[in-house]
Amino acid sequence: MKNTVLHKAATRGHADHGWLNSMHTFSFANYYDPERVHFGALRVLNDDTVEAGMGFDSHPHDNMEIISIPLEGDLEHLDNMGNGSVIRYGDIQVMSAGTGIFHSEFNKNKDRRVKFLQIWVIPNKKNVMPRYGQITLNIADRHNKLQQIVSPNADDEGVWIHQNAWFHLGKFDKGFSTEYVLKSKDSGVYTFVLSGDLTISGQPLNIRDGYGIWDVEKLSIMADTDSEFLLMEVPMKI
C-alpha cells in the first residue's frame, strides 16, 4: 500500500502579488489541486516572502490552529485580542482561531524583506476560545538534534495547539543521521526542507521539497549536505 507522498518544490502553487510572493504546498486561495488539499490534519503550508514595509491587512480566521515560523527578517503581528508583537528567526508564533479572530501581519522593516512559513493545522476541538502565544527558542538546540517546537501539551517544549501534533526543527551538519520515532500510531510525518539536501527513509529531498509518510513507526534522517528542515507529525484521520 502506498504510504508516501512527494511534493517537489517546483510543483507547488504560486501566487505573486508584487508585495507578496507565496508558494503553496497545499491548496490555498486561487491554487487548487484535489490531490493536494491536506496531509492528514496539516491543511496549509505557505512559504511567504513579504516585501519591505508591506503586509496583510486585518483579516479573519476561525477554527484553525495557525503557526508562523519566521525564516528571515521581522514580522509584526496585531490582533483583536490586544496582542501586538514582532517575531524573528528563532521565534514561533501560534494562534488558536477558535470562535474567530482578526489579525494583521506586516513586514516591520522598510529596507528588507521578511520570509516566514504559515502553517494551518485542523484542530481536534471546534469553537474554542481564541488565544495567542509566542516563544523564542535557542537555535543551538537544533544543531544535530530535533528541537520540539509544537506539541499538544502546554507543559512540553515549544508552543501548544488543539491537536495531537508534534513539530520539530533540525539543523544538521553534512553526514549527520538520526531517527525520529512517531509518537502516535495514528500519525504521519510531513518533512519540509528549509535548506540543503536530506534523505528521509531512503527518499532524497532538496530545498523546499515536501515529503509525507505514514503507516510507519519511525523515520531515518540523513543530512546529505548541511541542512535545515521541519518535521510535522499530525493525525492522518480528521
DSSP codes of every residue in 55-112: EEEEEEE-S-EEEEEEEESEEEEEETTS-EEEEETTEEEEEE-TT-EEEEEEES-SSS
Give the CA angle between residues 60, 134, 187 to the nearest 5°.
80
Measured between alpha carbons, how far is residue 43 from residues 121, 196, 232, 238 in Å? 6, 25, 12, 11
Residues 6+ positions from 104 with CB-CB distance below 8 Å: 55, 56, 57, 58, 59, 77, 78, 79
The domains of the chain, with CATH numbers, are: 13-137 (2.60.120.10), 140-235 (2.60.120.10)
List Cβ neighbours of 125 (8 Å cut-off, separation of 6 or more): 162
109-to-68, 87, 115 alpha-carbon distances in Å: 18, 12, 12
- Residues 15-31: tens digit of each pLDDT: 999 999 999 999 999 99
Joined together, the cell numbers standing for residue 127 give 469553537
Query: Tell me, what amino acid is at 24?
Result: H
Does pLDDT of 50 surpass 70? Answer: yes
76-90 tens-digit pLDDT = 999 999 999 999 999
The grid coordinates listed for 119 are: 502553517
Element (H or E) spanning 190, and its range? strand 187-195
Q: What is the mean pLDDT of the chain?
A: 96
State mean pLDDT over 116-131.
97
